[in-house]
Amino acid sequence: MSKKIKTKNVTSIAIKLNSSFVRNLFFKFIIIDIFIIAGFIGVWCIESEISFYGELVRSAKRSFNFYPIETATYKVIWDNGKVLIKEASTFLNLLIKVIEAIGIIEGIILLDQMIFGTAKNRRILKPLNDIAEAASRLSDIAFDEQKFQSLEDAISKISPYSSDERIHIGDSDLQGLEEAINNLLDRMRESYRQQARFVSDASHELRTPISVIQGYANMLDRWGKDDEEVLEESILAIKSESENMKNLVEQLLFLARGINGKTELKIIDFSLNDMMKEVLEESKMIDKNHIYRYIESENINVYGDIALLKQTARILIENAVKYTDNGEEIMLKVGKNNENEPYFYIQDNGIGIDEKDVSHIFERFFRADTARVRKDGGTGLGLSIAKWIIDSHRGYLSVLSRKEIGTRITVFLPKEQ
C-alpha cells in the first residue's frame, strides 16, 4: 500500500508540472499567432495603399470586408474621391495557410508535450520514487511506520512550482533522505524554470519585431505620408523586422525539431579543409569590411553532416563579424590537437567576452553585459544552434576570450565516426 502511495505522489507531481507547462504554452502560442496575423495584415494594407496611391493616405476611410472570404476586399476612400478597392481573398487564403502551417507545428509541439511530458517528468522524479521505495523497505528493519507516514505527508504537500519550499520533518533518522529529495526537487524546478524561460523568451522575441512593425505603421499613418525620408525609413525597417521574425521562427523550429529528435544527421566522410575553404570564400564574398585569413595543416577528413557543420562555421563567423571592427582580421584554422581530434576554429580581434559570461553564451536568448552588446542585432539563438549541432556529432566546443583582445571558438570533432 505504501509503495502505491509513493508512486501516486510522484505521478501526481509530474502530471501537475506537465499540465501547467502545456497550458501556459498553449496560451503563449495563441498570443504569438494573434501578433503574426495582425502584423501580416498591417504590412499588406500599407503596401497596398503605397502601391495604389504612391503614398500612405492621411485622411481616408478604410474598411476590410473579411467575410465571405471568397469576396473579401480592402477598401480605402480618399477625400479627393480616389477609391482603392483591392481583392483580399488571395492574401487571406495565403495567410490562412501560413497560420495553419504554424498551427500544425504548434499542435505537434503541444501534442508531444501532452503525450510524453509526464513521462519525461517521471523519469526526472524516478530517483525520488526509488528513494521512497527504499525507505519503505527499510521501515521494516530500522524505522517505524509513523516516520515514513510523516515523510509521505510532506511529499504530498510539496509544491513543484515553489522555489523555496523544501521537505523538512525534523527527524534526524530521515535527514539523509530529506536532503536527497530536496536536491531532486531543486533539479526538477530548475528544469521547469528553463522550459518556462525558453517559452517566455521566445514569445518576447517574436513580439518585438511585430511591435516595431506596428510602431512604424502608426508613425506612417500619423505624419509619415508626406515625408519621403520617414516613409523610406519606415518601409526599410518593416522589411528588416519581417525578415528578422522569419529568421527567428526558422531557428526556433530548427531547435524544436532537434530537441524532439526530428532532425536526422546525414553522416558522410568529407574533407574538413575543403568545407572551411568554401566557408572562407562565401565570407569574403558577403563581407568586404573584414580581412579573412585561413590557416590549414595536412588534409583532414571527418565524419559528419557537412551541411550542419558548415552552418556551425557560418554562425561562428557571423558572431565574429558582429563584434569585430571594420578592417580587423578574422582567422579560420583547421588542424588536430594532441589527442588527434580534428578541429576548426574561428578567431576574431573583437571586444571579447566577460569571463563570467563565457559559460552562458550557448544558452538560448542569452544577453551578455553591456561590454558585449550586439551591434547588428540577431536572434540570440545562433550559438545555441551551433552547440546542438556539435553535441549531436558528439563533439564539443572550447571558448578562449580576453576583453579588448578577441575571442576564439574552437569546434572539436570525434576522431572516429
CATH number at residue 347: 3.30.565.10
- Last residue of a domain, which of 236, 259, 282? 259
Query: Does a structural domain hold residue 417?
Result: no
pLDDT of residue 374: 42
The pairing of strands 396-402 and 268-271 is: unpaired
Does any domain span residue 8?
Answer: yes
**Cβ–Cβ under 8 Å, residues 74 and 48:** yes
Q: Residue 325 has which C-alpha cell? A: 571592427
Domain stop point among 240, 259, 278: 259
Q: Domain check: are 113 and 242 in the same one?
A: yes
Q: How far apart are CA 66 and CA 194, in angstroms?
A: 40
Task: List per-residue pLDDT tens for the chain, 417 residues long.
Answer: 444 555 556 667 777 777 888 888 888 888 888 888 888 888 888 787 777 777 777 677 777 777 777 778 877 887 767 777 778 788 778 878 888 888 888 888 888 878 877 777 777 767 766 776 666 665 554 545 666 666 667 666 666 666 567 776 666 666 677 777 777 777 777 767 666 666 666 665 666 677 777 787 777 777 666 777 777 877 887 887 777 677 667 766 776 666 656 677 888 999 999 999 999 998 998 889 999 999 977 889 999 988 889 889 988 998 899 889 899 999 999 999 988 999 999 999 988 888 888 888 887 766 554 444 444 555 567 788 888 889 989 999 999 998 888 999 999 999 876
Q: Indicate whether 39 and 131 sit together in one domain.
A: yes
- My answer on whether 282 and 245 are in the same domain is no
Asked, for residue 83, whether it belongs to a domain, the answer is yes
Q: Which of 206, 226, 259 is the last residue of a domain?
A: 259
Residue 296 lies in a domain: yes
Cα 135 to Cα 25: distance, rounded to the nearest angstrom: 37
Is 201 inside any structural domain? yes
CA dihedral 375, 381, 383, 384 (to 10 degrees): 160
The owner of cell 471568397 is 70
Clarify whether residues 248 and 274 are in a common domain.
Answer: no
Instruction: List beta partners, residue 399.
Output: 409
204 belongs to a structural domain:
yes
Query: Are 166 and 182 contacting, i.e. CB atoms less than 8 angstroms apart?
Result: yes
User: 410 φ, ψ to 5°?
Assistant: -110, 135
- Number of domains forming the structure of the chain: 2
The C-alpha torsion from 329 through 322 and 318 to 341, rounded to 10°, is 60
SS3 233: helix
Residue 207 and residue 306 in one domain: no
How far apart CA 161 and CA 192 sit, in angstroms, is 8
**Is the same domain home to 221 and 275?**
no
Residues 249 and 309 in one domain: no
Task: Look at residue 135 in the predicted model and tell me its pLDDT.
Answer: 63
pLDDT value at residue 372: 42
Q: Which residues pair with 397 in a beta bridge?
A: 411
Same domain, 132 and 25: yes
Same domain, 198 and 315: no
- 136 plus 247 within the same structural domain: yes
Assigned domain for 97 exists: yes
Q: Which amino acid is at 81?
A: G
Pairing of strands 268-271, 301-304: antiparallel
Positions of E strands within 201-245: none
101 and 202 both lie in a single domain = yes
Does 132 lie in the same domain as 281? no
Q: Give dist(CA 166, CA 181) in Å, integer.
A: 9
Range of the domain at 319: 268-412
408 falls within a domain: yes
Instruction: Give residue 228's pLDDT.
Output: 76
